[in-house]
Amino acid sequence: MKALLANLNPCMVSDKIIKEKLSGWQIDRSLNSQELFFFELGDGFKSLKELELFMGESIVESSVSFDLETYPSKEEIEELTSYCLHDVRMTLKVFNELKHEYEAQEALINYFSLEENFFNKSKAQLSSSILGAKRPNFERNDEFDFNIINTLELSKYDYVKRWYEDFNNRDYKKGLKTNVYNVETDFGWGGLHSARKQYIKEGFIVNSDVSSFYPSIIINYNLLSRNVSKPEKYKQIRDTRIELKKIKTLKNIH
């Protein structure tokens, strides 16, 4: 896109980026003068193609190689045109499904009076900028030096807490497999996983949700990263997010 705006051959620019591993400024300095804002589509866990697949759309790649050495035939041009148009339509469809993510990013940029080019940042980069988070120039190597909050009440499952408190278990390769409410559950250092096998249920099903559950825990128990220099901003982000969700809910009702 920048090549077209700079009146450069987009094929030449693409080849130098992909084949020669060059950056835009190394190809032609005029590319730097073209300011474009990009919003990263995706939820951070799944690619654009995966999201398309989950929506029941085709993700079949074009059979035409993108590094053709000769000019494509009429049939190849038609296939590439169809493929690219499909890609654009699917991108728009995914955007409409994830529009709330765009609106959330826009709201944070406006709330904290940031420059428009912050749209180019990922969610993690945007949050890092707002919170003033900086990676330390040394290794702490103390991720297992922690205490469990004293308000945690697990009743008959207190042995799970004791497992985490045992320093002999503080190893990423170790885990605890147990039964919680008649469901096989795996506890590890990345969290826990449990699911009823081949479970089918009909009738009245309740899906409960807590607004900003993890951010609220982080705020209430002061668990924010030590790399953050502006922790008060985190609460502002949480409160703003909740308020925006309320406004959106009210709009949907009316």
What is the per-residue pLDDT for 254? Answer: 56
Distance, in Å, from the CA atom of 40 to the CA atom of 86, rounded to the nearest integer, reads 19
Instruction: Tokens for 168, please give them.
Output: 């002999």
What is the per-residue pLDDT for 155? Answer: 93
What is the per-residue pLDDT for 42? Answer: 66
What is the per-residue pLDDT for 165? Answer: 94
What is the per-residue pLDDT for 45? Answer: 65
Total-model pTM: 0.67
Query: C-alpha distances in angstroms, 115 versus 67, 130, 172?
Result: 37, 12, 40
> What is the chain's pLDDT, residue by residue, as a tens digit (254 residues)?
888 888 899 888 988 888 888 888 889 888 887 788 888 776 566 777 888 888 888 888 889 887 777 888 999 999 999 999 999 999 899 888 888 888 888 888 998 999 988 888 888 889 899 999 998 899 988 999 998 998 999 999 999 999 999 999 999 999 999 999 999 999 999 899 998 888 888 999 888 888 889 999 999 999 999 999 999 999 988 888 788 777 766 566 55
What is the per-residue pLDDT for 163? Answer: 97
Residue 77, phi then psi, degrees to nearest 5 = -65, -45
